[in-house]
Chains A and B, each alone.
Chain A
Amino acid sequence: MKNATVQLASLCMVLSAGAAEEQLSAVITPAFTPITWERLVDARNEPHNWLMYSGTIDSQRYSLLDDINVDNVDRLEMKWAYQIPVIDRAETVPLVVDGIMFITEAPSNVVAVDARTGREYWRYDHEMPDDLRICCGRNNRGVAILGETLFMSTLDAHLVAIDARTGNLLWDTEVAPHESGYSKTAAPLIVKDKVVTGVAGGEFGIRGFIDAYDPATGEREWRTYAIPGPGELGNDTWSGDSWKTGGAATWITGSYDADLNQIYWGTGNPGPDWNGDVRLGDNLYSDSVLALDGDTGSIVWHFQFTPHDVHDYDAIQIPILADIKFNDRERQVMMWANRNGFFYTLDRSNGQFLAGKPYAAQTWAQGLDPVTGRPIRVPGMAPTYEGIMVSPPIVGATNWYSPGYSQDTGLFYVTSFDGEQEFFKRDEDYQEGERFTGGGGRYTSPMDAFHSSIRAINPETAEIEWEFPIMPRSSAGITTTAGGLVFTGSADGYFFALDASTGEELWNISLGRRVHAAPITFSVNDKQMISIASGNVIYTFGLRN
Chain B
Amino acid sequence: MIFNLNRLSPKLLRVALLVIVLGISSYPSGWLFNSAQAEDAGNLYNTAVDIRMGNRYFERQCSRCHGFDAKGNDETGAPDLTGRLRRASSDTGIFSIIREGVPGTAMIPVATDVTNATVWQLVAYINSLRYDPASVELAGDAKTGGKLFAGKADCSVCHMVDGQGGRLGPDLSRIGENKTPEDLLLAMLDPDEEVAPRWWRVRAAGADGVIREGFRMNEDSFSLRIMDIDSNLWSFQKRDILNYERFEKSTMPSYAKSLSDGELDDLVAYLFTLRREVLP
Contacts and interface: CB of A to CB of B under 8 A. Distances in A.
Given A13-B228, A166-B227, A127 B218 contact: no
B174 to A, nearest CB: 9
24 contacts: A3-B258, A4-B158, A8-B229, A11-B213, A15-B228, A20-B210, A24-B206, A28-B212, A29-B234, A31-B232, A87-B103, A87-B105, A117-B237, A120-B217, A122-B218, A127-B86, A130-B89, A131-B32, A135-B30, A138-B30, A138-B104, A165-B167, A165-B231, A179-B280
B87 A130 contact: yes
B113 interface: no
Given A1-B153, A114-B225, A85 B211 contact: no
B248 to A, nearest CB: 13
Given A12-B213, A12-B214, A129-B36, 8 more contacts: A4-B253, A5-B154, A7-B251, A14-B229, A27-B208, A119-B223, A130-B36, A165-B231
A30 B235 CA distance: 8
A99 B87 CA distance: 33
B105 to A, nearest CB: 6
A161 B210 contact: no
A321 interface: no
Nearest to B198: A122
A170 B161 CA distance: 8
Interface string A126-137: 011111101111
B223 A114 contact: yes
Nearest to B203: A13
Query: 10 tightest CB-CB pairs across the interface, nearest first?
Result: A1-B154, A31-B232, A12-B229, A170-B163, A131-B36, A29-B235, A87-B104, A114-B235, A168-B171, A27-B208
A137 B30 contact: yes
Interface of B: 29-37, 77, 86-89, 93, 96, 103-105, 153-155, 157-158, 160, 162-163, 167-168, 171, 173, 201, 203, 206-208, 210-214, 217-218, 220, 223, 225, 227-237, 240, 247, 251-253, 258, 276, 279-280
B53 to A, nearest CB: 25
B34 A131 contact: yes
Contacts of B217: 120-122
Nearest to B214: A12
Nearest to A27: B208
A443 interface: no
Given A1-B157, A4-B251, A13 B211 contact: yes
Nearest to A4: B253
Contacts of B223: 114, 117, 119
Contacts of A169: 163, 171, 173
A150 interface: no
B233 A5 contact: no
Interface string A1-45: 111110111011111000010011001111110000000000000
A168 B160 contact: yes
A67 interface: no
Nearest to A115: B235
Nearest to A16: B210
The SS class assigned to the B binding surface is: loop
B154 to A, nearest CB: 3
A291 interface: no
Contact of A32 (B160, B173, B211, B233): B233
- Which of B37, B225, B228, B240 is packed against the most chain A CB atoms within 10 Å? B225
A132 B88 CA distance: 13
B235 A165 contact: no
A248 interface: no
Given A1-B154, A85-B77, A130-B32, A28 B235 contact: yes
Given A122-B217, A131-B37, A168-B160, A106 B227 contact: no
Interface size class of A (residues with CB under 8 A): 35 or more
B164 to A, nearest CB: 8
A165 B228 contact: no
- Which of B93, B158, B201, B208 is packed against the most chain A CB atoms within 10 Å? B208
B228 A7 contact: no
B86 A13 contact: no
A166 B167 contact: yes
A8 B105 contact: no
B167 A163 contact: yes
Nearest to A26: B208
Contacts of B37: 131
Contacts of B280: 129, 179
A24 B208 contact: yes
A285 B160 CA distance: 43
Contacts of A112: 233
A310 to B, nearest CB: 22
A100 interface: yes
A163 B206 CA distance: 26
Given A12-B213, A28-B236, A121 B208 contact: no
Contacts of B225: 114, 119-121
A171 B171 CA distance: 13
B96 A130 contact: yes
Contact of B30 (A3, A4, A120, A134): A134
Contacts of B208: 23-24, 27-28
A439 to B, nearest CB: 16
Contact of B210 (A5, A24, A88): A24
Contacts of A138: 30, 32, 104
Contacts of A179: 280
Nearest to B155: A1
Contacts of B30: 134-138
B101 to A, nearest CB: 12
Contacts of B201: 11
B38 to A, nearest CB: 10
B213 A116 contact: no
A482 to B, nearest CB: 28
Nearest to A139: B30
Given A106-B104, A130-B35, A31 B168 contact: no
A86 interface: yes
